[in-house]
């Protein structure tokens, strides 16, 4: 199945992007001629990773019949020093709250996602080191 997105230039460094019927803007910051009208394209890769692995983990944990009250992903990355500047280290925090959490099931679902099911993770793993941490019931 092919994917397609369309980006129409608005002005300065801003583009209106359409993907799967959803429309959003991307832009650069002031330093590079933008006006901060939307997220940076590179940062959207991190959002894509969070969404991809998050959906996998939810699906897998539901199949494992594990319940949770809240689930949050935080993704941070460091860029290389040389151009093209790419992500070299990516860290994901999988943060769960709830009374019925099972660390073993969470660990298994994350490993399956990052190593087997999440295509975004597979693509990013070709150029970056992806690591993760599980945080249960943060205070």
* DSSP string covering 16-78: EEEETTEEEEE---GGGT----S--HHHHHHHHHHHHHHHHHHHHHHHTT---SEEEEEEEEE
pLDDT of residue 63: 98
Same domain, 29 and 63: no
Q: Does residue 34 sit in the same domain as residue 45?
A: no
Is 63 found in the same domain as 121?
yes
3-state secondary structure of 128: coil
Cα separations (Å) of 104 from 32, 41, 70, 101, 135?
45, 35, 17, 9, 13
Tens-digit pLDDT profile for residues 39-97: 999 999 999 999 999 999 999 999 999 999 999 999 999 999 999 999 999 999 999 99
59 plus 24 within the same structural domain: no
Q: Are residues 93 and 54 in the same domain?
A: yes
Same domain, 117 and 131: yes
Q: Are residues 127 and 101 in the same domain?
A: yes
pLDDT at position 2: 87
122 plus 62 within the same structural domain:
yes
Query: Is the domain of 56 the same as that of 122?
Result: yes
Average pLDDT for residues 117-131, to the nearest whole number? 97
The arithmetic mean of pLDDT across residues 117-121, rounded, is 98
Together in a domain, 57 and 84: yes
Number of domains the chain contains: 2
Spatial contact of 50 and 58, defined as CB atoms under 8 Å apart: no
Name the residue range of residue 92's domain. Answer: 41-136
- In whole angstroms, how far apart are CA 4 and each of 22, 25, 43, 46? 12, 16, 19, 19
Look at residue 139 and tell me whether its pLDDT is greater than 90.
no
């Amino acid at each position: 199945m092919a994917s397609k997105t369309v980006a129409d230039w608005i002005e300065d460094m801003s583009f209106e992007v359409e993907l799967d019927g959803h429309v959003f803007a991307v832009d650069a910051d002031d330093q590079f001629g933008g006006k901060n009208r939307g997220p940076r394209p590179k940062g959207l890769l991190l959002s894509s990773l969070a969404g991809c692995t998050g959906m996998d983990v939810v699906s897998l944990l539901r199949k494992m019949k594990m319940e949770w009250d809240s689930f949050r992903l935080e993704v941070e990355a460091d860029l290389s020093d040389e151009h093209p500047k790419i992500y070299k280290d990516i860290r994901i925090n999988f943060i769960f709250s709830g009374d019925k959490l099972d660390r073993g099931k969470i660990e298994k679902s994350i490993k399956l996602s990052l190593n087997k099911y999440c295509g975004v993770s597979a693509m990013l793993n070709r150029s970056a080191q992806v690591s993760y941490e599980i945080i249960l019931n943060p205070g």
